[in-house]
């Protein structure tokens, strides 16, 4: 694994944890952090030892959004080529690459989430937060609005009366409130955060990687399609998943009464 300046990457037993590692800046996303995340995710998609990815933050923050100095003030005076490169990588890793990763990605929300940090949360497939975490769309507080992809992604994820309330007032919300409005999967007591996330990661590790990839592809690729196109896409994903797994081994094990699909995964043969 390459050495990165702003993130830590650790693999243990098939679970790769990426830690946003600028705690002194509350893990605000600098141009270098966008480059590091872009490169890291691009590598991990081909890493057979990565079955599940967890994204978390170092210190007391998950992600304080874009680095207000480096991403905005300093970028304004950069050449257009650099601005385009950074903005494109910033957009792609959060709003495109995370969704297209074959592995499931879990946000382990250990602390603050502000502004652009929301799109790290929405980019992940599952998001678990410690219950004392606060999240906020603070842009209006500094005279901006949730720009770039933030408004676009929020309108996919939230009801207007929830998203507009927080975008207009700039007030923070609790993790419980984020759970209630569907921004995150679940808020858990802080003491249980690691255990809860590892329990989910271990569950996912038991599943066939091609089935997990198919779940993501079906979800994200059919989202904007009309129903008949979505149905065709679903059929193609199904054929691909079946080819990747060599038929229907899970159903054959069921037919042999080797397990109960309602209660857990079939025994997946490792295919390297």
Site string for ligand COA, 137-166 (x = CB under 6 A): -xx---------------------------
Binding residue for ligand COA (CB under 6 A) from 18, 28, 44, 158? 28
3-state SS track over the chain: CCCCCCEEEEEECCEEEEEECCHHHCCCECHHHHHHHHHHHHHHCCCCCCCEEEEEECCCEEECCECHHHHHHCHHHCCHHHHHHHHHHHHHHHHHHHHHCCCCEEEEECCEEECCHHHHHHHCCEEEEECCCEEECCHHHHCCCCCCCHHHHHHHHCCHHHHHHHHHHCCEEEHHHHHHCCCCCEEECHHHHHHHHHHHHHHHHCCCHHHHHHHHHHHHHHCCCCHHHHHHHHHHHHHHHHHHHCCCHHHHHHHCCCCCHHHCCCCCCCCC
Q: Is 68 in the site for ligand COA (CB under 6 A)?
A: yes
Cα separation of 24 and 12, whole Å?
A: 26
Please identify which residue in the block is written with the tokens 């569950």.
Answer: 203
Q: Is 171 in the site for ligand COA (CB under 6 A)?
A: no
Q: Is 35 in the site for ligand COA (CB under 6 A)?
A: no
User: Which CB sits closer to ligand COA, 127 or 208?
Assistant: 127
To the nearest whole angstrom, how small is the minimum distance from the Cβ of residue 2 to ligand COA?
25
User: Which CB sits closer to ligand COA, 150 or 193?
Assistant: 150
Binding residue for ligand COA (CB under 6 A) from 38, 62, 93, 112? 112
Q: Is 65 in the site for ligand COA (CB under 6 A)?
A: yes
Candidate segments 65-73, 78-86, 160-168, 176-184, binder of ligand COA by CB under 6 A: 65-73
User: Which CB sits closer to ligand COA, 104 or 111?
Assistant: 111
Binding residue for ligand COA (CB under 6 A) from 93, 114, 166, 266? 114
Q: Is 34 in the site for ligand COA (CB under 6 A)?
A: no
To the nearest whole angstrom, how small is the minimum distance from the Cβ of residue 25 to ligand COA?
4
What strand order describes the sheet that includes 172-174? Answer: 61-63, 112-114, 134-136, 172-174
Binding residue for ligand COA (CB under 6 A) from 12, 48, 69, 242? 69
Q: Is 66 in the site for ligand COA (CB under 6 A)?
A: yes
Binding residue for ligand COA (CB under 6 A) from 31, 57, 104, 116? 116
Q: Which residues bind ligand COA (CB under 6 A)?
A: 25-26, 28, 61, 64-69, 112, 114-116, 138-139
């Amino acid at each position: 694994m390459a050495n990165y300046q702003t993130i830590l990457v650790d693999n243990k037993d098939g679970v790769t944890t990426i830690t946003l590692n600028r705690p002194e800046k509350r893990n605000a996303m600098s141009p270098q952090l966008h480059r590091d995340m872009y490169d890291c995710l691009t590598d991990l998609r081909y890493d057979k030892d990565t079955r599940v990815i967890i994204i978390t933050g170092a210190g007391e923050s998950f992600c304080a959004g874009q680095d207000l100095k480096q991403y905005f003030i300093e970028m304004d005076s950069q050449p257009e080529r650099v601005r385009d490169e950074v903005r494109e990588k910033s957009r792609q890793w959060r709003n495109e690459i995370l969704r297209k990763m074959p592995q499931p990605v879990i946000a382990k929300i250990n602390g603050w989430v502000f502004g652009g940090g929301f799109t790290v949360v929405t980019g992940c497939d599952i998001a678990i937060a410690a219950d004392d975490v606060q999240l906020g769309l603070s842009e209006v507080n500094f005279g901006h609005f949730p720009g770039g992809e933030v408004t676009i992604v929020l309108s996919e994820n939230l009801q207007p009366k929830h998203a507009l309330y927080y975008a207009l007032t700039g007030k923070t919300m609790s993790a419980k409130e984020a759970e209630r409005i569907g921004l995150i999967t679940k808020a858990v007591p802080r003491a249980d955060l690691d255990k809860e996330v590892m329990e989910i990661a271990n569950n996912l590790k038991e599943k066939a990687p091609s089935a997990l990839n198919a779940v993501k592809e079906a979800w994200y690729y059919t989202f904007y399609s009309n129903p008949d196109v979505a149905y065709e896409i679903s059929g193609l994903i199904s054929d691909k998943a079946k080819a990747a797994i060599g038929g229907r081994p899970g159903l054959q094990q069921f037919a042999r009464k080797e397990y109960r699909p309602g209660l857990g995964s079939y025994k997946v043969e490792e295919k390297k």
